[in-house]
Amino acid sequence: MCFAYDARPPDLPADLARALIAGGAGAEPLELTSADGTRFSAALAEAPEATGPAVAILPDVRGLYPFYSELAERFAQAGHHAVVIDYFGRTAGLGPRGEEFDYWPHVLETRPRAVQADLAAALAALRERTGADRAVTVGFCFGGTQSFLAATNAELGLAGAVGFYGGLNPERWGELSPIHQAGSMRGPVLGLYGGDDPGIPPEHLDAFERALEEAGVEHEIVVYPGAPHSFFDRRYEEHAEACADAWRRVLAFLDAR
C-alpha cells in the first residue's frame, strides 16, 4: 500500500500560506450512484472562494480513508473544490474504509471503466453542488494509474491529470499500462515520482515519457532523488522539501488550467 492508515498529507509550504483561504469546509461524506446503479462512498470539501478548477482525488488501494478526506480539505483551503471517491462500492459496499479493511481482493476486481463511471458521477455531484465545470484528477499509486487512464476518456472532460507514483508496469497492467495508453491521453499530464521507488524503475518512467512525447501530449515527469514510493506524507520529515515542491507543482498545474 502507499500509506500507513494513520498517515496524513503534508502541510502546504509556508511560502504559500498567504494564498490560503481561511474557513475551508471539512470534507462531507456522500453516497453517490454510478451509471450502473452502484452506490458508492465519496467525500466533498467545498472551497469558500474557488479560484481554479476542482480536484477529483483518486486514492491508493485503501480507497476512501482519512488521508484523502483531509487532502480534499487542503485543496479546498487552497481555493479548489475537491471530491474523493471510494472504489469498492461494487464489491465491498459503502465506506469509508477502516484500518482493518482487507482491500486487496477488492482491488483485484476493480476496473478502470468502473472507476471512470464512478468518477463521472462524482464530477456531476461536484458540479451540482458547486457549479465547477472544470476538474483535474489527482491520484496516488493505484489511483495515480487511474488518474492517467482517466485522461483517455474524453467523456469526462478533464482539464488535466496528476499522478503521484502511478504504477506503469506493463506486466501488471498489460495493455492498460499508461505507457501503452499514452497515445490516447488528453493532456496535460503531471507525474510525480520518488527516485528510490523499486516498484517504478527508471526504465518505466523513460518509456512513459517517451510515449507521451511521441503522442504529442503536454506533460511533465518529476523525479525526487532519494524519495520513496509514498513520500507525500507529513511524517517523512527528511522528504519535506520534496513534499513542498510537489505541492507547488500541483497548485501551479491547477492555476495554469
- Residue 136's CATH number: 3.40.50.1820
120 part of a folded domain: yes
Range of the domain at 177: 14-256
50 part of a folded domain: yes
Mind giving me the DSSP string for 136-179?
EEEEETHHHHHHHHHTT-GGG--SEEEEES----HHHHGGGSHH
Q: How far apart are CA 60 and CA 50, in angstroms?
A: 26
User: Tell me, what DSSP letter sits at residue 213?
Assistant: H
1 part of a folded domain: no
Q: How far apart are CA 62 and CA 129, in angstroms?
A: 26
6 part of a folded domain: no
Write phi, then psi, for 255 (nearest 5 degrees): -60, -35
Q: How far apart are CA 161 and CA 57, in angstroms?
A: 10
Residue with cell 526504465: 203
List all residues 6 or more positions away from 53 whose beta carbon is below 8 Å from its beta carbon: 80, 132, 134, 135, 136, 159, 160, 254, 257
Q: How far apart are CA 101 and CA 98, in angstroms?
A: 5
Total number of domains in the chain = 1
List all residues 6 or more positions away from 161 whose beta carbon is below 8 Å from its beta carbon: 136, 137, 139, 147, 148, 150, 151, 185, 187, 188, 189, 190
Q: In the prediction, which pLDDT does 16 show? A: 65
Q: In the prediction, which pLDDT does 1 show? A: 52
Q: In the prediction, which pLDDT does 18 show? A: 43
218 part of a folded domain: yes
61: amino acid identity, one letter: V
195 part of a folded domain: yes
pTM for the predicted model, two decimal places: 0.95
Q: In the prediction, which pLDDT does 257 show? A: 83
pLDDT tens for each residue of the chain, 257 residues long? 577 788 889 888 876 644 555 445 589 999 999 999 999 999 999 998 888 899 999 999 999 999 999 999 999 989 999 999 999 999 999 988 999 999 999 999 999 999 999 999 999 999 999 999 999 999 999 999 999 999 999 999 999 999 999 999 999 999 999 999 999 999 899 999 999 999 999 999 999 999 999 999 999 999 999 999 999 988 878 889 999 999 999 999 999 98
Q: How far apart are CA 58 and CA 47, in angstroms?
A: 19
List all residues 6 or more positions away from 191 whose beta carbon is below 8 Å from its beta carbon: 144, 148, 162, 163, 166, 205, 208, 219, 220, 221, 222
Q: In the prediction, which pLDDT does 11 show? A: 85
Q: How far apart are CA 208 and CA 203, in angstroms?
A: 9
64 part of a folded domain: yes
List all residues 6 or more positions away from 216 whose beta carbon is below 8 Å from its beta carbon: none
9 part of a folded domain: no
